[in-house]
């Protein structure tokens, strides 16, 4: 039997953090043995916000290196840069024509980025169009490769829903063409919250660097950030919904040390936040140190070669699917 296909990607922007790792990359590493895996650095998504070109180039390579240092094995998985396969943009155009503007304007990510919540009627006029149809590019990414499963964090659920909607809509209108994918989400890692505000997700573009632990943070910075992380009232270390800050910190501890939350609770009976936080910082450092060592050893040229080979491998698949789409809608191919 043919292996099922997974596809996922991260935009090369902001500071890649442990939320990205625990919500997405860690799962990719586990899934790559069972699935035919394609992991993309989505640079075309990154430019939906203004980017410094030099910085974008640097970040694109860095994200690919983060994939590899995290354990994505280029022998098992295919890695490539989105803009190296122009079929993504071409399919997106076609999918634009079957998407309703209402479907896009309801996206929470769009609403957040457009800051429509400010109620400023002028705000919409200044929103770059790329932020509006960002989800359609993601739909194209996924549908081009007959993807069965998309491993992402919870914040991407709406985007997977619209992927299914558009795949079905196209199939209904033009005949069976696209595989309708499913989302793959893990319970604890799906939503790592901000260290400075446990009501919002940890975010690459957070204003304060005390929101996240970046994958390139030094030991000293990790200790400082964990010391400053907000906690809940009370002093016991318990894993409960009414203690969202602590729950989040225990989740991070648990996922990075592969220790069940219950065991962590037991370990800190009679102890306080200071002990717990000291140990948590060490758990994070124990994870980051070997990761950063692997990252530092990666050779830029070699990684660029891996990415070029990856694009060469997937481009014919993308072309085949796009040609099928073109034929079905009546283009002369």
Binding site for ligand TRP (CB under 6 A): 7-11, 42, 45, 138, 141-142, 150, 152, 156, 159
Tell me, by CB under 6 A, how many residues bind ligand AMP.
Answer: 17
CB of 109 to ligand TRP, least distance (A): 7
Q: Any catalytic annotation for residue 243? A: no
Looking at the chain, list the stretches that DSSP marks H as alpha helix, in order from N- to C-terminal side: 18-20, 26-31, 43-46, 53-70, 87-96, 101-105, 108-114, 129-143, 157-174, 219-228, 244-257, 261-267, 273-297, 300-329
Query: Does 11 engage in binding with ligand AMP (CB under 6 A)?
Result: yes
Q: Which helix (H) or strand (E) holds 147?
A: none
Question: Of residues 74, 153, 198, 310, which one binds ligand AMP by CB under 6 A?
Answer: 153
Smallest CA-to-CA distance from 187 within 251, 264, 237, 109 is with 251
Given the complex with ligand TRP, which of 5 and 69 has the nearer CB atom?
Answer: 5
Q: Which does 141 bind (CB under 5 to 8 A by kind): ligand TRP, ligand AMP, none?
A: ligand TRP
Q: Which does 198 bind (CB under 5 to 8 A by kind): ligand TRP, ligand AMP, none?
A: none
Residue whose CB is nearest to ligand AMP in the complex, by number: 23
Q: Choosing from 26, 65, 201, 321, which is the catalytic residue?
A: 201
Between β-strands 78-81 and 36-41, what pairing exists: parallel, antiparallel or unpaired?
parallel
Query: Does 202 engage in binding with ligand AMP (CB under 6 A)?
Result: yes
Tokens in use for 117? 């919540």
Q: Which does 12 bind (CB under 5 to 8 A by kind): ligand TRP, ligand AMP, none?
A: none
Buried b (16+ CB within 10 A) or exposed e, 190-213: bbbbbbbbbeebbbbebeebbbbb
Asked if residue 225 lies in contact with residue 196, where contact means CB atoms within 8 angstroms, the answer is: no
Cα separations (Å) of 41 from 44, 64, 330? 9, 7, 32
Question: Of residues 201, 223, 225, 243, which one binds ligand AMP by CB under 6 A?
Answer: 201
Given the complex with ligand AMP, which of 208 and 278 has the nearer CB atom?
Answer: 208
Q: Choosing from 164, 204, 224, 267, which is the catalytic residue?
A: 204
In the window 90-109, what residues touch ligand AMP (CB under 6 A)? none
Q: Any catalytic annotation for residue 204? A: yes
In the window 14-43, what residues touch ligand AMP (CB under 6 A)? 19-20, 23-24
Q: Any catalytic annotation for residue 113? A: yes
Q: Find residue 38's DSSP bridge partners.
A: 7, 78
3-state secondary structure of 296: helix
Q: Which does 279 bind (CB under 5 to 8 A by kind): ligand TRP, ligand AMP, none?
A: none
Smallest CA-to-CA distance from 208 within 12, 14, 59, 25 is with 14
CB of 82 to ligand TRP, least distance (A): 7
Listed ranges 59-67, 76-84, 151-159, 163-171: which one lies at the site for ligand AMP (CB under 6 A): 151-159
CB of 196 to ligand AMP, least distance (A): 13
**Alpha-carbon distance 6 to 258, whole Å?**
24
Active site residues: 113, 201, 204
Instruction: Using CB under 6 A, list all residues that contact ligand AMP.
Output: 10-11, 19-20, 23-24, 152-153, 155-156, 189-192, 201-202, 204
């Amino acid at each position: 039997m043919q292996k099922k296909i997974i596809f996922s990607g991260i935009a090369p922007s902001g500071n890649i953090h442990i939320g990205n790792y625990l919500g997405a990359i860690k799962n990719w590493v586990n899934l790559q043995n069972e699935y035919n895996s394609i992991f993309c650095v989505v640079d075309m998504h990154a430019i939906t916000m203004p980017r410094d070109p030099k910085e974008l180039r640097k970040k694109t390579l860095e994200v690919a290196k983060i994939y590899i240092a995290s354990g994505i094995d280029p022998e098992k998985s295919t890695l490539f840069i989105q803009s190296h396969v122009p079929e993504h943009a071409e399919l997106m155009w076609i999918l634009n024509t079957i998407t309703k503007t209402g479907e896009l304007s309801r996206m929470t990510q769009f609403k957040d980025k457009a800051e429509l919540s400010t109620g400023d009627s002028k705000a919409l006029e200044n929103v770059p169009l790329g932020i509006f149809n960002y989800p359609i590019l993601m739909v194209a990414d996924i549908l081009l490769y007959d993807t069965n499963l998309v491993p992402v964090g919870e914040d991407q659920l709406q985007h997977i829903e619209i992927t299914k909607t558009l795949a079905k809509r196209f199939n209904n209108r033009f005949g069976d063409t696209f595989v309708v994918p499913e989302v793959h989400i893990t319970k604890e890692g799906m939503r790592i919250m901000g260290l400075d505000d446990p009501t919002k997700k940890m975010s690459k573009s957070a204003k304060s660097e005390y929101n996240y632990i970046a994958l390139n943070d030094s030991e000293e910075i990790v200790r400082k950030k964990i010391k400053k992380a907000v906690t809940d009232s009370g002093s016991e270390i318990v894993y409960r919904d009414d203690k969202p800050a602590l729950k989040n910190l225990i989740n991070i501890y648990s996922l990075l040390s592969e220790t069940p939350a219950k065991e962590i609770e037991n370990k800190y009976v009679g102890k306080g936040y200071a002990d717990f936080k000291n140990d948590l910082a060490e758990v994070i450092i124990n994870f980051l140190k070997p990761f950063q060592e692997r990252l530092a050893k990666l050779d830029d040229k070699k990684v660029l070669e891996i990415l070029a080979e990856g694009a060469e491998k997937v481009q014919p698949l993308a072309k085949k699917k796009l040609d099928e789409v073109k034929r079905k809608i009546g283009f002369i191919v």
